Structure 1
């Protein structure tokens, strides 16, 4: 692991002094790249004058905003406790709107302000995905009325949903490539997302061809397989949430983050053609 130190400044404010001015104490803590990774999921340290020295770290908010609706979604896709996808997902619209969409987009905007490009893109893209999902399946919007008598069983509706999920496969793959410079748990998470969206898309495209009970079971199996791959992100995500929460409040946590920023395409790697003097 790289021994390079990253300065991170924290300011504490205390009671007023005798002349009415607040007393403050400023501490500069030297963080290793792995410690910074625990806090921000950013492979590189902050730039000089970075606003993370003054503002709260939004990473935990974005991570939990993703995990809460995501966890319920995976349980539903797997058919636990009698859940039936996609019908049971409608009951999660509140989570999708407020935790998925609002919390993640707020975290993404905060990451943008702090200059953390990768978590900003992840939080806003998936936050908007949750909002899109909630809007699409919200009965108040009655989108199915535009698709004639076939409705949710027709090719018109399911092709649009399948195309959305195919696009999310591509988005997740782009993020998967980038995670090889973040940490191993993110790699597992986004690999699981690529596979999950792939099987959901396959289920969408299969719905219009349901003719028998076996066809219906096939669609259900595709959704369950997708949910099974989602467990990679479920386990990895909650693991990272524990690490991030501990790092945020200074609780020593021996669990490894498996940082890859100093191992994959590291800046310390010898350049091609470099020769010792």
Structure 2
């Protein structure tokens, strides 16, 4: 079989899976359900939410899906950068007292990126993608507010909202995989 005859799988499934699982684990910690889940979220952020999602974005390039490419390489990079940022003081990359300010500006920047991506998602007819991005925008807004107000209540609410975001992404993954079986 030649390269032109090879059918490429939809990389969006693994991109959504990595995003969903990592988002779920981090927000279980944010919601206060299992605070130690943060220790699992950071390695997941490097590898599944990060690297696997980034690779899915690169593969979206091959399919011609610019939105998927930007979303998956963007959020894959987000997870890797977030994990590195949080580990930075321990690695000697920044003073520990600089972490709060660095995290705050990072959350603001990703909120802006996410709101733009949310707007663009409405140019698609895929309601699941739209729901994922609306929930993700709300999550980032809540995380920014929680960060700057130091409100535990808002952080916990954001955690539960993040769990809902993860579930919506898992549903998106489910739709992609299910569609593969319905076309055979």
The structure 1 segments of at least 4 consecutive aligned residues displaced by more than 4 Å after TM superposition are: none
Higher helix share: 2
Task: State TM-score, norm by structure 1.
Answer: 0.59
CA contact (8 A) 1:74 1:227 kept: yes
Decide whether the 8 Å contact of 2:13 with 2:174 is kept in 1.
Answer: no
Counterpart residue number, 1:54: 7
Deviations 1:110-154 (A, max 9, x none): 11122110011000110000001111122752445x24xxx3xxx
**Which whole-Å CA distance do the structure 1 matches of 2:147 and 2:93 have between them?**
16
Retained in 2: the 8 A contact 1:76–1:89? yes
**Which residue of structure 2 aligns with residue 64 of structure 1?**
17
Pairing of 1:88-237 with structure 2 (within 5 A): 88-138=37-87, 140-143=90-93, 146-147=95-96, 151=97, 156-182=98-124, 183-207=126-150, 219-237=151-169
Distance 2:73 2:182 in 1: 27
In structure 1, C-alpha distance between the alignment counterparts of 2:90 and 2:160, rounded to whole Å: 31
**3-state SS of the aligned residue for 1:126?**
helix
Take 2:48 and 2:102, find their aligned partners in 1: how far apart are those partners? 25
8 Å contact kept, 1:180–1:187: yes
Count, aligned residues: 181
Higher relative contact order (CA 8 A, sep 6+): 2
Return closer, same or farther for 1:60/1:235 CA change in 2, 3 Å cut-off: same
Is the Cα–Cα contact under 8 Å of residues 162 and 200 in structure 1 kept in the other structure? no
TM-score (norm 2): 0.86
Looking at CA atoms only, which structure, 1 or 2, has the larger radius of gyration? 1
Q: Unaligned 5+ residue runs, structure 2? A: none
CA distance in 1, matches of 2:84, 2:169: 25
1:239 maps to 171
Over the residues paired in the alignment, what is the CA RMSD in angstroms? 2.4
**Greater strand content:** 1
Unmatched 5+ stretches in structure 1: 1-12, 14-23, 25-50, 208-218, 253-277
